[in-house]
A and B are shown apart, each in its own frame.
Chain A
Amino acid sequence: MQYHLNYNFIWKYFDRLAWGLALSLELATIGILIGCIIGLALAVLSHGAGRPVRFVVGAYVEFIRNVPLLLLVYLVFYGIPSVGGFAYDATTSFTMTLAVYAGAYLVEVFRAGLDAIPKGLIDAGRAIGLTPAQRVLHVQLPTMFRIVLPSLGNAFISLFKDTSLATVLAVPELMYGANWIYTNTFRIVEVWTVVAPMYLVTGFILLGCLRLLERRFAIRRR
């Protein structure tokens, strides 16, 4: 039996893919933003904190990192309503899951970033009379941001790909759009040969933007 490629259906329903891609990017963006807030807050908190705080933060990080994301997605969407008695819509639930997931990875990224700030810069901030809060704001955070930028970018591209898991909650992102076309047209090869490049090209563009940003904010460039 021979399979005849026919892309007509794909183009007919392409708006589902286009909108899906937009939603995927949106989910990843919100995920990394909230994830950054979680990660940064916990990193700063545990940086100068005692053992109990570090233990709790460490437990969160290890739990999230050692459980499959898909399981977390199910757990948050089905588990919280059953136990807590309140429900979110699928998109909100998934975004929160993604943010908490990203947060766990970013704690480590930010912690390493804080550790990597040259001690002399903090001394320099103290020597000109900056208060601790001013040092964090004007010296430590800007320096750390430049140190962690590459890791942050990689995390964002990872998250963008991870948004494909939202399809299991029927969140209409790119993977869901692809599944919809495939189940309604059975054009399986066509769908995936279009969607894979969409992920790929978007990832490449993100990577390119990231490299530009890194160059713009480079500290050590010679």
Chain B
Amino acid sequence: MSGNDPLVKVRGLTKSFGANQVLQGVDLDVPKGSVVSIIGASGSGKTTLLRCVNLLETYDGGSIEVDGVEVGYDLSDGRRRPRGERELAGIRADIGMVFQLFNLFPHLTATENVMLGLRKVRGMGKAEARAAAEQWLVRVGLADKLESLPIELSGGQQQRVGIARAVAMNPKVLLLDEITSALDPELVGEVLKVVRELARDGMTMMLVTHEMTFARDVSSRVVFMDGGRVAVEGSPKDVFGAPAQHERLRGFLARIELRDI
């Protein structure tokens, strides 16, 4: 892989759920250290696209490469062979994901949630994993919640644990799937603040979001998806600046409130 190849390279990606083709040939590059926001109306395929990147959804056609490795299929001997679960586990370990509904393991404390992958996937010893987990939880502002169970945390706190759990694995790219959609408005800011810091530290991120102000501020590129394709792609200024050229984008932006966070 040459030095300026994108970290995530999506080409001609297609995916159907039954008769419904949700992805109709998506091309997308995510350079290392960049933040790419994916926006669009619900049903436009943005979450599906994100979930394909770490193969939580399989894809039908096209390809996704992360750091030069085809994610879903082994192409080594000239044939397209679906990867087994064990192989996928190894690939997924390097791709972090944060979920809309947090999906914290309910039986584990905040620290244990972060430790699980470090111990079982990264093979760290208990003390080392605990230290790393606590360090990340402190960074996301949860120094006083290390031993709390998910049920004892607010939505914003749970989501920050979710972020710590993902970034502690030291992923090559972080996928954020509408991570503030399930939060009360007053809790959105504390979560986005953490994401902003990660962006500043050079974490490569792909995020699906409805927070347009945030997307505008934090992104290097913004992608507007419509009908299973990338309809508009450009810098935040191109996409959110002056009246959009693309009619559907204009309609979409008119329906979305831009609010300050």
A residues sitting closer than 8 Å to B (CB atoms) are 118, 120-121, 123-132, 134, 138-139, 142-143, 146, 217-222
Q: Write the chain A residue with the least CB distance to B118.
A: A128
How far, in angstroms, from A142 to B104 measured CA to CA in the complex? 13
Q: Is B103 an interface residue (CB 8 A)?
A: yes
Q: Write the chain B residue with the least CB distance to A120.
A: B103
CB < 8 Å neighbour of A130 from B89, B101, B151: B89
Are B85 and A222 in contact, with the CB atoms below 8 A? Answer: no
Q: Is B166 an interface residue (CB 8 A)?
A: yes
Are A126 and B121 in contact, with the CB atoms below 8 A? Answer: no
List residues of chain B with CB within 8 A of the CB of A217. Answer: 107
Interface of B is mostly: mixed
Q: Write the chain B residue with the least CB distance to A122.
A: B103
Are A129 and B89 in contact, with the CB atoms below 8 A? Answer: yes
Are A128 and B106 in contact, with the CB atoms below 8 A? Answer: no
List residues of chain A with CB within 8 A of the CB of B121. Answer: 128-130, 134
List residues of chain A with CB within 8 A of the CB of B97. Answer: 123-124, 127
Question: What are 21 A-B residue pairs whose CB atoms fall within 8 Å in the complex?
Answer: A123-B56, A123-B99, A124-B97, A126-B54, A127-B92, A127-B95, A127-B166, A128-B93, A128-B116, A128-B117, A128-B165, A128-B166, A129-B91, A129-B169, A130-B120, A134-B89, A134-B120, A138-B120, A139-B105, A143-B105, A219-B107
How far, in angstroms, from A217 to B107 measured CA to CA in the complex? 8
Interface of A is mostly: helix
Chain B contact-residue range equals 20 to 34
Are B105 and A129 in contact, with the CB atoms below 8 A? Answer: no
How far, in angstroms, from A128 to B151 measured CA to CA in the complex? 21
Known: A126-B92, A128-B117, A130-B121. 9 other contacts (CB 8 A): A120-B101, A124-B104, A127-B92, A128-B96, A128-B165, A130-B89, A143-B107, A146-B106, A219-B151
Q: Write the chain A residue with the least CB distance to B56.
A: A123
With A128-B165, A128-B169 as given contacts, are A121 and B105 in contact (CB-CB < 8 Å)? Answer: yes
Closest chain B CB from A120 CB (angstroms):
4
With A129-B169, A130-B89, A220-B151 as given contacts, are A124 and B120 in contact (CB-CB < 8 Å)? Answer: no
List residues of chain A with CB within 8 A of the CB of B105. Answer: 121, 124-125, 138-139, 142-143
CB < 8 Å neighbour of B107 from A123, A124, A129, A146: A146
Q: Is B90 an interface residue (CB 8 A)?
A: yes
List residues of chain B with CB within 8 A of the CB of A124. Answer: 97, 99, 103-105, 165
CB < 8 Å neighbour of A219 from B85, B106, B165: B106
Residues 150-191 of B, flagged 1 when their CB comes within 8 A of A and 0 if not, give: 010000000000000110010000000000000000000000
List residues of chain A with CB within 8 A of the CB of B169. Answer: 128-129
List residues of chain A with CB within 8 A of the CB of B89. Answer: 126, 129-132, 134
Are A131 and B85 in contact, with the CB atoms below 8 A? Answer: yes
